[in-house]
Structure 1
Amino acid sequence: MICIGRSSIRSILTVKDLESFVEAYRILERFSPTLPGPDDSAECTPDRIVIYTLSFSFCGVRYPLSTFKVDLLRHFRVHFSQLHPLGFMRVVHFELSCVAVSGAPSIPLFCMFL
């Protein structure tokens, strides 16, 4: 069995792809979105995070994150990058469902619901 870790993942995005991604998801310039170099791996460092663009398009991530999403991440002591896209999709669905019935999402309600 061959194991391929994150350190062997390379970006296939072009500069135009990055520009489109930044525009579509309204990522602020202050975050300095950049593409990794051709020999750089997809590893987080103290001064950068790695974002898998397919996760964004799959689960509907939009920045800035809502207060509820930030509070939920803090409550469970996880970083956004630790969430699976399907898990994040559940959070988005829950929050939208609360808004649709004129309710405010809360962490206790989320824990009871799921």
Structure 2
Amino acid sequence: MSHTDRSMIRSVLTAKDLESFIETYKIPEHFSPTLPGPDDSAECTPDRIVLYTLAFSSCGVRYPLSSFKIDMLRHFRVHFSQLHPLGFMRVVHFELSCAVVSGEPSIPLFCMFYKLISNGD
């Protein structure tokens, strides 16, 4: 999906859907989950991230993501939904491997082991 296509995505959730989603997945209140307005596109900004609820139900994703995962997504300018599940599993594996050796995961260290590539625009 191109950047232009993503900017055309509109939320179809209702306030009741959001409330149920927050309760089901135990999203903490301090994240201030909100629905976008009817004319807002699904775009991340420096003070908010966009979550696709389908990722929770179909991929078993649980939030909040660790700060390393968020830094990684921001560094590569991708959304979680743009990563192949096996690719995201590598990110998780790297983070866990760092924890096992009492190390801190970092983007430069990650890039020494893995190279993310784009498939399309």
Q: Could you say which TM-score interval applies, normalised by the shorter chain? A: 0.5 to 0.7
Q: TM-score, normalised by structure 1?
A: 0.61
Contact 1:55 1:85 survives alignment (8 Å):
no
3-state secondary structure, aligned to 1:78: helix
Q: How many Å apart are 1:71 and its aligned residue?
A: 4.7
Pair 1:73–1:46, CA change in 2 (3 A): closer
Match of 1:106 in 2: 97
> Bigger relative contact order, structure 1 or 2, given CA contacts below 8 A and separation 6+?
2
Q: CA RMSD in A?
A: 3.6
CA distance in structure 1 between the partners assigned to 2:23 and 2:99 by the alignment = 34
CA distance in structure 2 between the partners assigned to 1:32 and 1:39 by the alignment = 20
Q: How many Å apart are 1:57 and its aligned residue?
A: 1.2
Match of 2:61 in 1: 61
Q: How many Å apart are 1:6 and its aligned residue?
A: 1.2
Q: Max radius of gyration: which structure?
A: 1
CA distance in structure 2 between the partners assigned to 1:73 and 1:39 by the alignment = 26
CA distance in structure 1 between the partners assigned to 2:20 and 2:90 by the alignment = 25
CA distance in structure 2 between the partners assigned to 1:32 and 1:18 by the alignment = 11
Gaps of 5+ in 1: 95-104
